[in-house]
Amino acid sequence: MSIVITPGPSHLRVEPTPAGRLAGSLLSVTVAGLADPQRFRRGKTYLADNAISRLELSEGVLLATVAGHRADPYHVTITVETISRPEGLAQIPERSHVARLIPRGDDLLFSCTCPDWDDPCKHAVAAMLAFAAELSSRPELLVIWRCGDIDGRPRPKVGSRGKPDRHLRLVQPPPPSPFETDEWREFIGAELASPQCDVPTQPLALPTMQLDRTDVAEVIRSAWQTLALFRPEGG
């Protein structure tokens, strides 16, 4: 089960909890230790500019939509190694559970549709910082990410954000690819049958010529006469 978070400005977030503040700070420190300093600063700028329009959360996976310099947004995928639920963890993690739940750098894997070769890129940094900001008031999101659903049931309203209409929604299936439609198959001729033709398996027989001695002599005589026409005078 996946849930979607619509990140909101910081002034609309619910008051942070002690465990949530610790979780957000530790996750930000982890990202800072992984990222190039310049890209980390750019990621913070993206967060301040509210460039992260969507976070999709499920067990072990965090997806983010980040606006960049081009018309279409970039799509970030962050996977984390999942762990078993810490002993004594209730629905809301306590400060004692946070250190166990925060991933290390080698527990994370980043990918982005942008052309930046660095790992993580500034868009992935922005996505992680946005998620860390969400954890400040909703630390149970960290449990879902690393351990799965808290109680095994869908949670349609795990999210922030100060307004009644801003909440997590169940994820809709992605639209089908335009290259998998019948119109596309008809356009490229995928449904056309291969032409049938008989391919010979034996070499073709070439006609043979039977020449007797008289014919050979006549051919030689004709060749000499032809050459004589091109012989220079006095040669």
| Residue 180: burial class (beta carbons within 10 Å; 0-12, 13-18, 19+) | exposed
pLDDT of residue 92: 78
pTM (whole model) above 0.85: no
7-11 long-range CB contacts below 8 Å, 24 or more apart? 7/50, 7/52, 7/53, 7/54, 7/55, 7/130, 7/133, 7/134, 7/160, 7/161, 8/160, 8/161, 8/162, 8/163, 8/166, 9/50, 10/133
pLDDT of residue 173: 44
Least Cα distance to 115 among 54, 52, 49, 69 occurs for: 69
pLDDT of residue 2: 80
pLDDT of residue 209: 57
Cβ partners under 8 Å of residue 108, min gap 6? 30, 34, 78, 79, 80
CA torsion, ordered 134, 121, 3, 7, to nearest 10 deg: 40
CA pair distance 120, 118, nearest whole angstrom: 6
**pLDDT (tens digit, 0 to 9) for every residue of the chain, 235 residues total?**
688 898 876 545 667 888 889 999 999 999 999 999 999 999 999 999 999 999 999 999 999 999 988 889 999 999 999 988 877 776 778 888 888 899 999 999 999 999 888 889 999 999 999 999 999 999 889 999 998 765 544 343 333 333 333 233 333 344 556 656 666 666 666 555 555 556 556 665 655 555 566 666 776 777 777 766 656 555 5
pLDDT of residue 210: 59
pLDDT of residue 215: 67
pLDDT of residue 149: 61
CA pair distance 118, 133, nearest whole angstrom: 23
pLDDT of residue 216: 65
pLDDT of residue 132: 94
